[in-house]
Every structure is written in C-alpha cells, then in structure tokens.
Structure 1
Amino acid sequence: MTIEAWRITGQSQIDSYVGRWAELAVLLVNELHVTQARGRAVTPPPDRRAALQEAFARQNWTPGHTLTSADVDRLAEVAAELHPAFSGDITSLNQALVRHAAVPNLHGDPPVLAFHAPDADWADALAADAGTALAMVIGVGQGQRLRSCEADGCELVFFDVTRNASRRFCGLPCQNRAKASAYRARRRT
C-alpha cells in the first residue's frame, strides 16, 4: 500500500509550476470578475489594462506580451470562466479547458512545458495554462484548497497553501469582520 506524503503531513504537494498558474487564476478572477470585496462593492477601475498590469507587477508575473484593451476584455471572460472552479464546479472548468484547447506540450528553446498549443493566441494560452493548473490541483485531491472567501460581502478567491487547508477568508480584514460580526451576534442573544 502506498501512502502519499501529503496525506501523512497534511502539507500540500503542489509543485511551483502549478502553484504559480493557480495563483495567476486567482489574480485574474479577483482583478477582473469579483463585484464585492471585503464588504464593499468593487467598481471596475477606469483603466482596467493599467490595473491588471499593476496586479501582474505585484505578483512578479511578467506576461511577456504588451497588454491591449482587447486582451483585458478576453481575460475578463477567462476570469468569469475560471471563477466557478473555486466553488468546486468542475463541469465549467472542463468546458473552459476544451474551449481554450488545453493540451500539454513542450515548445521553445530550451523546451518549456505548457498546456496550450504553440500557436494559441495570448489570452487562450493564459486560459489554458491557468485552467489546467486548477484542474491539476483538483485532480490530485487538493480541490479544497481553491476557495472563495467565507465573509459576508466578499467574493474574493484564493489558493489555500496552509498546512491543514483550513483557511476560510481571503485575508485578515475579512476574518476580523467575520469575527466581530459573530461576537456582536453572540452578545445580542
């Protein structure tokens, strides 16, 4: 009988390649699809392209491509397609993988593993790689690590890398709001 290491220690065994693309999926959903964050309505920035470039820079992700407004519009569609995966909807994730022609291959010099066709346009390539990373996380039994914030009024998603996969909130502000709300509810009764 073989016992996987992550079952013994509780530590996730997601490689850095998959983790990086899963984090990119998180970034796309949070920047381009979420309408409520940390208890407040999110209004799209006047220049979504600049906002997305800034978000890429914060995550030290270099797209290797000059973003256009059309790219941002396509990536907003991709974000909407990937968002249900964070709630466990694998049907829509499978549809996104098919729509963006996700297929493993090696290309470049030196060869680099990718999950998009070498001739795919930039948005399809990003969608295929990020979608495949989410599918791989789910496929190795770690789907509970793809989460949506449990705080009221927050739709942000995250990739839980804690040891026991117990993270419930996107960050400390939402956790504090939820705890304060629960405390006030207990005090009322």
Structure 2
Amino acid sequence: MIFAHDTEVALRSAVNLVNTLDADRGELLATGEDLDRFLDEEEFTGSRTHDAAELAAVRTLRARLRGLWSAPEDDAVGIVNALLREAQALPQLVKHDRWDWHLHATAPEAPLADRMGTEAAMAFVDVIRAKELDRLRVCAADDCEAVLIDLSKNRSKRFCDTGNCANRTHVRAYRERRAAG
C-alpha cells in the first residue's frame, strides 16, 4: 500500500469523478439521478440538496480536479489549497458505518461539492507531500482521454478502467505486427 486506505479510496473517487465526462460516452452526470448513482457507487454520505445547483457545483469541481492531472507541483498545491480554503476545511478523525478511523475535514452538512472537493484535496495532499504526482496519468490509449492513478508498486499502470483500452491497444498492436510481418 502506497497511501493510507482512505487516501486511496478518495483518489479513486476523484479519478471516477473526473472520468464522468468522457469524450466517447459524453456527460455521465447529466441528471440528478446520475449524480445519485455516482454518489452511491462511491459511498459518499452527508446532506444533499438534490437541486441543479448541487449538480453544477459537482461538475465544476470535476473540472478543477481534472486540472491536477496536468498541473506542475506548484500549481497542484494551489488547486489543493484553494479547495481546502474554500471549504474551510478542519481535519478531524471520525469513525462511521463500516469505516474505521479516517479523516474528514468538513461537516456532514457542508455542501456536497465542498465535501467531495475536500476529500479529494486531502488525498492529493498526501500525493504531493510524497512527491508522487507522476502517478497521475492520462490513459495511454490513443483514443482515450480518461485519467487514472497508478497505485501499483512498480508504477506500471498505463490504461484507465473506463473501458477496455488496454485490450484494444494490444489487439491493434498485434494486428499491426502481423500485417507488417
């Protein structure tokens, strides 16, 4: 394990949120129901307004998080600090549901986008402090722009989990080799 369990969960959630805007599949957070489904899959808890403003705020957060995948370290620090400052983050240890002790930095009644952004920002604090920003990658498939976080020990993850990019790329390379050979 490279990071604490809750950090890895938050990083995967950030990846999944960023990948809800997909070049091929389009907008995957088009409706409130889409957001509900995403939050259930990611096990986000706390208060909700279930209105258009909440959905818009989450989409705005998504774009800000996407910027972390191409930001140099100083810019990434700026994004993370802004997310924490705007949410008035105050880290605290909490234990709830099936989770053992972990960090929350906002109250359960804080706006959804603030809670999501703060959770992601806290995870990215660990990434930045560990000098591991190079683990943030864009899928290596030529026809995919999805993001990923490489949590493998040998830093070998190249393809996203949104589709079958690795398989498509390997089949294409195989066919090209056979055609040339």
1:35 to 22, 27, 44: 22
Letter in 2 for 1:65: S
SS in 2 for 1:141: coil
1:90 to 39, 51, 73: 73
Letter in 1 for 2:141: A
In structure 1, the residue matched to 2:2 is 13
TM-score (normalizing by structure 2) = 0.76
Distance 1:72 1:92 in 2: 26
Distance 2:106 2:80 in 1: 10
SS in 2 for 1:162: coil
Q: 1:120 to 1:89 in 2, by over 3 A?
A: farther
Distance 1:159 1:46 in 2: 21
Residue 123 in structure 1 maps to residue 113 in structure 2: yes
Residue 161 in structure 1 maps to residue 151 in structure 2: yes
In structure 2, the residue matched to 1:62 is 44
User: Structure 1 residue 46: deviation in Å?
Assistant: 7.8
Letter in 2 for 1:185: E
Q: 1:109 to 1:177 in 2, by over 3 A?
A: closer
**Correspondences of 1:108-187 after superposition (within 5 Å):** 113-116=103-106, 121-171=111-161, 173-187=164-178
Residue 71 in structure 1 maps to residue 54 in structure 2: yes
Distance 1:109 1:165 in 2: 32
In structure 2, the residue matched to 1:6 is none
Q: How many positions carry a matched residue from both structures?
A: 171
* Deviating more after overlay: 61-70 vs 161-170: 61-70
In structure 2, the residue matched to 1:5 is none
Q: 1:165 to 1:109 in 2, by over 3 A?
A: closer
Letter in 2 for 1:14: F
User: Structure 1 residue 130: deviation in Å?
Assistant: 0.6
SS in 2 for 1:14: coil
RMSD of the TM alignment (CA)?
3.0
| Deviation per residue, 1:3-35 (Å, 9 max, x gap) | xxxxxxxxx42001211211221121111xx33
| Identity, % of aligned positions | 26
TM-score (normalizing by structure 1) = 0.73
Letter in 2 for 1:134: F
Uncovered stretches (5+) of structure 2, i.e. residues with no partner = none
